[in-house]
């Protein structure tokens, strides 16, 4: 059987890490595309030379020609720019919308059958715009946020309870940003809800509230420490888990930004909810019952995503 083809659009910090992980996991042959000349070629060569040491078989091609993504099975998009000092939200939206337009058209032309995972921020708006520009079916275009946000939540909880991260199953809903909704009622340690562990005296509500808040600002905490750039190891690892769920038809239930058509009372918006990822892409949204507080917080998050989308439509009339 021919190897799968993984196309990475954007060869920056996350793109390069994705290429290394995809090669290490032998997910298929890899195309690393960027507009910056030489950079994807250099990274591809460097990662190829890990092969003899790590023992992976994968062809890694760096390119500045979008046509090289032709026939890709999975595409992961990190192309774009980060917000720079002095830049308004709408300036950033304008630039990254332009990038999504170019990338979306490239995908439509060269790899319309791919499963597309978007990582570019602001995530919930960019994945929606990328879907619009590419014209691909909604189930084949998803955003990576919830897997990362849940991993951050799980990490902090494992530290708090002094247990293995393997035993923590964390649950985060909503948009990727300050309004995300970590749901403690559905977050468990070996099946025991966090709320019950608090009742058992293994932590306090105050400590869990602080962890929820730290999770919400998890990206910003890393930006402040790095000083240049943002997180890339865990974002790349998260997208690889989603890609593997698709390629392996694993039917994993992962929190992803998916297109909602009435579920959770939301229509025509990409928001983070649990979804079955398998060979059909985003196969089925899992609609869980939310209690009063989580429901209200989810609504705040949805409103924030909708506001961002309206700003996008104002900037790019073809989206309206």
Question: Per the annotation, where are the binding residues?
Answer: 10-15, 34, 83, 89, 96, 119-121, 152
9 binds ligand APR (CB under 6 A): yes
Q: Are 98 and 223 in contact (CB under 8 A)?
A: no
* CA distance linking residue 8 with residue 131, whole number of Å: 17
Binding residue ranges for NAD(+): 10-15, 34, 96, 119-121
CB nearer to ligand APR: give 35 or 319: 35
Closest CA to 154 of 140, 139, 171: 171
12 binds ligand APR (CB under 6 A): yes
CB nearer to ligand APR: give 104 or 182: 104
Closest CA to 144 of 174, 114, 171, 123: 123
Q: Is 44 helix (H, G, I), strand (E, B) or coil?
A: helix
Range 28-47, binding ligand APR (CB under 6 A): 34-36
The least distance separating ligand APR from the CB of residue 53, rounded to whole angstroms, comes to 24
CB nearer to ligand APR: give 8 or 168: 8
Distances from the Cα of 115 to the Cα of 25, 102, 153, 220, angstroms = 18, 17, 27, 29
Range 272-291, binding ligand APR (CB under 6 A): none
The least distance separating ligand APR from the CB of residue 305, rounded to whole angstroms, comes to 16
Range 208-247, binding ligand APR (CB under 6 A): 229-230, 232, 235
311 binds ligand APR (CB under 6 A): no
The least distance separating ligand APR from the CB of residue 177, rounded to whole angstroms, comes to 11
CB nearer to ligand APR: give 17 or 184: 17
134 binds ligand APR (CB under 6 A): no
| DSSP code string of 287-309 | -----HHHHHHHHHHHHHHHHHH
Range 56-85, binding ligand APR (CB under 6 A): 78-80, 82
The least distance separating ligand APR from the CB of residue 265, rounded to whole angstroms, comes to 28
Q: Is 176 a catalytic residue?
A: yes
Label residue 250 exposed, middle or buried (CB < 10 Å: 0-12, 13-18, 19+): middle
User: Hey, CA dihedral for 252, 59, 135, 146, is it positive or negative?
Assistant: positive
Closest CA to 139 of 283, 279, 264: 283
Quote the tokens at residue 151: 């991993």
Beta strands in 41-104 (DSSP E): 60-63, 74-77
CB nearer to ligand APR: give 121 or 188: 121
- Report the catalytic residues: 176
Positions in the binding site for ligand APR (CB under 6 A): 9-15, 34-36, 78-80, 82, 99, 102-103, 119-121, 229-230, 232, 235
């Amino acid at each position: 059987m021919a190897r799968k083809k993984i196309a990475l659009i954007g060869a920056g910090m996350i793109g390069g890490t994705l290429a290394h992980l995809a090669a290490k996991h032998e997910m298929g042959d890899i195309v690393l595309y960027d507009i910056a000349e030489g950079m994807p070629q250099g990274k591809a060569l460097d990662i190829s030379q890990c092969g003899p040491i790590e023992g992976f078989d994968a062809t890694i091609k760096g390119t500045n020609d979008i046509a090289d993504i032709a026939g890709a099975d999975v595409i992961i998009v990190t192309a774009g720019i980060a917000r720079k000092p002095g830049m308004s939200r709408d300036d950033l939206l304008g630039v990254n919308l332009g990038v999504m337009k170019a990338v979306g058209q490239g995908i439509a032309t060269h790899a319309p059958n791919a499963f597309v995972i978007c990582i570019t921020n602001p995530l919930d708006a960019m994945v929606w715009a990328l879907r619009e520009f590419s014209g691909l079916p909604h189930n084949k275009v998803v955003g990576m946020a919830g897997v990362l946000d849940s991993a951050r939540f799980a990490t902090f909880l494992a530290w708090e309870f002094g247990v293995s991260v393997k035993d923590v199953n964390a649950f985060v809903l909503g948009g990727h940003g300050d309004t995300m909704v970590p749901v403690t009622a559905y977050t468990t340690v070996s099946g025991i809800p966090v709320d019950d562990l608090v009742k058992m005296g293994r932590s306090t509500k105050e400590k869990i509230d602080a962890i929820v808040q730290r999770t919400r600002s998890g990206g910003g905490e890393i930006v402040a420490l790095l000083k240049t750039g943002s997180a890339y190891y865990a974002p790349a690892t998260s997208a690889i888990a989603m890609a593997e769920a698709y390629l392996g038809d694993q039917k994993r239930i992962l929190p992803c930004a998916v297109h909602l058509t009435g579920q959770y009372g939301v229509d025509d918006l990409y928001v983070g909810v649990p979804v079955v990822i398998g060979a059909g892409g985003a196969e089925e949204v899992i609609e869980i019952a939310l209690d009063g507080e989580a429901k209200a917080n989810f609504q705040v998050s949805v409103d924030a995503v909708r506001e961002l989308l309206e700003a996008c439509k104002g900037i790019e009339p073809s989206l309206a």
